[in-house]
Amino acid sequence: MKNKKLQGNVRDAAFSILWAVENKQAYSNLLLHQTIESFGIATKNKGLLTEITYGTLQHQMTLDYYLEPYLKGKIEPWVKVLLRLSLYQIVYLDRIPPHAVVHEAVEIAKRRGHGGVASVVNGVLRSVQRNGVRSFNTISDPYEKISIETSHPEWMIRRWAEQFGLEKTREMALENNKTPSQTVRVNTVRATVEEAIEMLESEELKAVPSKLIPECLIVTNGQPARTMTFEKGFITIQDESSMLPAYALQAEPDMAVLDMCAAPGGKTTHIAEKMNNRGTLYALDLHQHKVKLIDENAKRLGHTIIETIVGDGKQSVEQFGEEKFDRVLVDAPCSGLGVIKRKPDIKYTKKEQDFARLQEIQIELLDQAARVLKEDGILVYSTCTIDAIENRGTAERFLKEHPEMETIQAVLPKAMNSKHIGFVQVFPQDYESDGFFIAAFKKTQKTATV
């Protein structure tokens, strides 16, 4: 394939991202901003680029199912990516005329390949236009049907169905293909929710209060990260579900708190706001470049109690000593299956064998967290995944190995309290947010010394 790109062309840019994801296992969310810059995409077209890139990724397996009857003989991988991109626009988008999609696809095929490839692309897409796409009704196996219909690997559908049932699994998989809401958290140390709404409105963005979380706003137009309201530290970009661990932690002013896996700092800064920027808050993370992000966030928001440290949470006792903190948050490295809506590549790259390795890391982190926690202190374990074995399995194993810890009811915003008893599992379809898991523990006695 020739690497000839066209400045300002949205579909050429989308194709470049999708090909890098397919060919180099690149992350689409990281590539998107870089590609907008390198292709010189106009502001008015950024939304379309995001939509057709993520939409094609979200529906990739479904698009392959639709294309299969029309592909004859061997086809180069990059041509298949171009066909997926084009078919996504024809099947899922109303505002782009199919003839314009076909024309653009043929032009990209000419630039990146040659006349013969362009002819194949033209032939396939025009055949789909004439004959339509095939139904899912011919698929008799219910797991395979949901897998193809929602574009999730079959092993994932079978695993979730075993844990939550087939109906809940289908609801979740369908929700994962929807466009996520834009949500921001108001920095309550600096502004009220009403003041933040007014500031955003003065910059021509519309924001409405969340029905779940008092300091959360849903922004329905524009890019809040590019506003002065953001730059001056009145808001932070954060999903609603990610705001829950700070509630469960019950941190108060003048406490000593440790956020053990803190980068990029969204939960750390939320905790600082719950502490009204008073007390001691350590933010620990493995990587220097990620710790820098926490420092930048804290500075922008004006939070002075956050002390960042580059270090391994699995060595927290060595770093801080035994029983030093009133609260510890372990927002653990996880499979990330709750954020597929925002990062659709995840569903194609995760493997079932990853889960056991992740649980061992989480257990090591929780073991250290229990030891650095004071008696009567609260430990919160959270993940952005919905896998029951990974979440509940880790929490139950931790309790079994730590008799000094007991489960307590996780404190949540009032609008959610009555719906979650015990461990908190938020599914993406529950509140149209990310999937999330939270377990809260209290230390009832000092750590036993050997």
- Tell me if 52 sits within 8 A of 88, measured CB to CB: yes
Listed residue (151, 161, 213, 154) closest to 183, CA to CA: 213
Residue entry with tokens 């897998």: 147
Which amino acids are annotated as binding site, given as ranges?
261-267, 285, 312, 331
The Cβ of residue 352 has, within 10 Å, a number of other Cβ atoms equal to 13
Would you call 384 a catalytic residue per the annotation? yes
Which amino acids are annotated as binding site for S-adenosyl-L-methionine, given as ranges?
261-267, 285, 312, 331
**Buried b / exposed e along 185-210 (16+ C-beta atoms within 10 A):** bbbbbbbebeebbebbeeeebebebb
CA–CA separation, 381 vs 379, rounded Å? 7
Q: What are phi and psi of 331, to 5 degrees?
A: -90, 90
- Tell me if 435 sits within 8 A of 337, measured CB to CB: yes
CA–CA separation, 69 vs 76, rounded Å? 16
CA–CA separation, 382 vs 418, rounded Å? 19
CA R_g for the chain = 24
Classify residue 345 by burial, with Cβ atoms within 10 Å: 0-12, 13-18, 19+: buried
Q: Is the dihedral of CA 36, 37, 38, 39 positive or negative?
A: positive
CA–CA separation, 439 vs 441, rounded Å? 7
Q: For the chain, what is the largest distance between any 2 Cα atoms, rounded to a whole number of angstroms?
A: 75
Reading phi first (left if > 0) and then psi (alpha if -120 to 50, else beta), residue 347 is in alpha
From the candidates 275, 384, 405, 424, give the one annotated as an active-site residue: 384
Which residues are annotated as catalytic? 384
